[in-house]
């Protein structure tokens, strides 16, 4: 059975969690392959809103096995908090039963969070993600499989503590780590999560051999990729399709379907150039109606028109077979809609996304204008989605101008829009008519 990958095609926050939640109803395994507690997936079930950071969105289905993959950096304290909240909601303790942590995943420790807090330039979440990945690259990090060996070697613990304190001092921070606190932290992690630590790459491989359905869930988005994003205003991992199987511990030949999730407009959190950004009533409309606040940080997201230029870049890197367009309902009530189709930089017009951030900072958007469509409340949008599901009419249930918008996106990207989201509820989606 082939695997399916779900990826964000913009700067994250596209609505991947809702899509994975929908697809997970037919999946046997959902695997997170990169990132850590800086991710934020929100799922709405009726009146209840669930926010996940480490946990794959498939947790809402009891039949679905969950993997925190080798490409992740995992904060055990944040994971503990998330599991406690899940227990309050679902009455389940999945760790070691259907939730498994890769033995190769790296551990985010309090030291990493303290060091990350010194960042003032990039606008990170402060969750310790960059420093943990940095330790992994420098080959001085601690993986879950390493914890018992570190605990049994007093000299190694002391060496680690000296290195950590040296880094904190060099960063101008007063905090320090002791041998006793590090030992206590590692002992707690081992006791709390030891039963869930497994060779997850093998588990997923064997599941594929049995013909089971695997869903690989990405965090962040294509434009936050450490190599292909708007560096240095990026996350610290590879967010693209190329890392999906690698971070999960299987080979890329298993993948048959790659879905790019695209918000019907564009948002980003934190610093960095954003040519499509709007500082006007439309930008306020998108932020207010779309409830654009970061799931992880609570920071307001910067908003702008849908930008095809970086999406074309994301398409080239990831080779999406289809696109899921989310939050189409948020555009309702705007008299006209615009789509950015190019940039004017100095005296030239460009249509490919530049690596040079100074060019992006000078870029003026070139837009295509389309008619707007009426605004509906969330209850009415949900009724529209249910009508589409009941009648099989697909996009025909939408206002004509909304259909035109979808068709234009398809033409500009060159791939089909397989479904559109018209609200946060897991049922508020309309699939393309077959």
Considering the domain architecture, whether residues 47 and 163 belong to the same structural domain is answered as yes
Average pLDDT over residues 133-142: 97
Average pLDDT over residues 400-428: 96
Give 380-387's long-range contacts (Cβ < 8 A, gap of 24+).
381/329, 381/422, 381/423, 381/428, 382/422, 382/423, 382/425, 382/427, 382/428, 384/422, 384/430, 385/422, 385/423, 385/427, 385/428, 385/429, 385/430, 386/427
* Alpha helix positions (H), 99-239: 110-116, 129-138, 147-151, 154-170, 179-193, 200-209
Considering the domain architecture, whether residues 320 and 231 belong to the same structural domain is answered as no
Residue that finishes a domain, picked among 255, 282, 300: 255
Considering the domain architecture, whether residues 143 and 177 belong to the same structural domain is answered as yes
Can you tell me which residue has the tokens 């596209």? 14
Confidence of residue 117 (pLDDT cuts 50, 70, 90): confident
**pLDDT digits over 6-15, tens only?**
999 999 999 9
Strand partners, 35: 72
Confidence of residue 163 (pLDDT cuts 50, 70, 90): very high
pLDDT of residue 10: 97
> Residue 41 catalytic?
yes
pLDDT of residue 297: 67
Considering the domain architecture, whether residues 225 and 267 belong to the same structural domain is answered as no
Considering the domain architecture, whether residues 227 and 280 belong to the same structural domain is answered as no
Considering the domain architecture, whether residues 208 and 288 belong to the same structural domain is answered as no
Domains held by the chain: number: 2
pLDDT of residue 119: 66
pLDDT of residue 44: 74
Q: Which of 28, 41, 54, 329 is catalytic?
A: 41
**pLDDT digits over 226-285, tens only?**
999 999 999 999 999 999 999 999 999 999 999 999 999 999 988 899 999 999 999 999
Backbone angles phi, psi at 36, to 5 degrees: -150, -135
From CA 249, how far away is CA 238, in angstroms rounded?
15
Residue that finishes a domain, picked among 205, 232, 255: 255
**pLDDT digits over 39-94, tens only?**
877 777 777 778 889 999 889 999 999 999 999 999 999 999 999 999 998 899 99
Average pLDDT, the chain: 94
pLDDT of residue 426 exceeding 90, the answer is no
CATH number at residue 332: 3.90.170.10
Q: Among 40-44, 140-144, 304-308, which stretch is predicted with the lowest mean pLDDT?
A: 40-44
Considering the domain architecture, whether residues 53 and 192 belong to the same structural domain is answered as yes
> Residue 13 catalytic?
yes
Average pLDDT over residues 152-164: 95
pLDDT of residue 295: 65
Residue that finishes a domain, picked among 232, 255, 278: 255
Considering the domain architecture, whether residues 188 and 288 belong to the same structural domain is answered as no
For 49, the token pair is 């809103």
Which residue range(s) make up the domain with 370? 262-431
Average pLDDT over residues 376-405: 96
pLDDT of residue 354 exceeding 90, the answer is yes
Biggest CA–CA distance in the chain, Å, is: 70
CATH number at residue 124: 3.40.440.10
For 289, the token pair is 């109606």
pLDDT of residue 1: 60
Considering the domain architecture, whether residues 83 and 216 belong to the same structural domain is answered as yes
pLDDT of residue 124 exceeding 80, the answer is no
Considering the domain architecture, whether residues 296 and 408 belong to the same structural domain is answered as yes
From CA 282, how far away is CA 266, in angstroms rounded?
12
Considering the domain architecture, whether residues 134 and 194 belong to the same structural domain is answered as yes
Considering the domain architecture, whether residues 150 and 73 belong to the same structural domain is answered as yes
């Amino acid at each position: 059975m082939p695997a399916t990958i779900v990826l964000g095609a913009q700067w994250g926050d596209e609505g991947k969690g809702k899509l994975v939640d929908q697809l997970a109803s037919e999946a046997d395994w959902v695997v997170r392959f990169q990132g850590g507690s800086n991710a934020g997936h929100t799922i709405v079930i009726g009146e209840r809103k669930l926010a996940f950071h480490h946990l794959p969105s498939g947790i809402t289905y009891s039949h679905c096995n969950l993997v925190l993959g080798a490409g992740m950096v995992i904060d055990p304290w944040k994971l503990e908090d998330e599991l406690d909240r899940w227990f309050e909601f679902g009455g389940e303790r999945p760790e070691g039963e259907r939730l498994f942590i890769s033995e190769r995943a790296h551990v985010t420790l309090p030291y990493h969070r303290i060091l990350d807090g010194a960042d003032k330039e990039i606008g990170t979440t402060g969750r310790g993600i960059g420093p943990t990945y940095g330790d992994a690259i420098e080959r001085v990090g601690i993986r879950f499989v390493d914890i018992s060996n570190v605990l049994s070697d007093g000299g190694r613990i002391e060496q680690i503590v000296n290195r950590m304190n040296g880094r904190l001092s060099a960063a101008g921070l007063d905090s320090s780590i002791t041998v006793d606190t590090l030992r206590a932290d590692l002992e707690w992690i081992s006791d709390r999560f030891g039963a869930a630590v497994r060779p997850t790459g093998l588990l997923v491989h064997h599941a594929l051999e049995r013909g089971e359905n695997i869903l690989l869930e990405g965090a962040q988005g294509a434009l936050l990729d450490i190599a292909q994003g708007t560096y240095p205003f990026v996350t610290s991992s590879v967010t693209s399709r190329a890392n999906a199987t690698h971070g999960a511990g299987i080979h890329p030949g298993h993948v048959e379907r790659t879905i790019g999730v695209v918000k019907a407009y564009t948002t980003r959190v934190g610093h960095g150039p954003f040519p499509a950004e709007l500082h006007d009533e439309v930008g306020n409309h998108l932020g207010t109606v779309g409830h654009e606040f970061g799931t992880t940080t609570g920071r307001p997201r910067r908003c702008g028109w849908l930008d095809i230029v970086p999406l074309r870049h994301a398409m080239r890197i990831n080779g999406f077979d289809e696109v899921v367009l989310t939050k189409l309902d948020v555009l309702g009530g705007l008299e006209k809609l615009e789509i950015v189709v190019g940039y004017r930089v100095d005296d030239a017009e460009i249509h490919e996304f530049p690596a040079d951030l100074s060019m992006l900072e000078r870029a003026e958007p070139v837009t295509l204008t389309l008619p707007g469509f009426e605004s509906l409340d969330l209850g009415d949008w949900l009724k529209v989605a249910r009508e589409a599901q009941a009648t099989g009419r697909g996009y025909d249930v939408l206002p004509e101008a909304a259909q035109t918008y979808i068709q234009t996106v398809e033409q500009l990207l060159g791939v089909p829009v397989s479904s559109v989201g018209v609200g946060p509820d897991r049922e508020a989606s309309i699939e393309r008519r077959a």
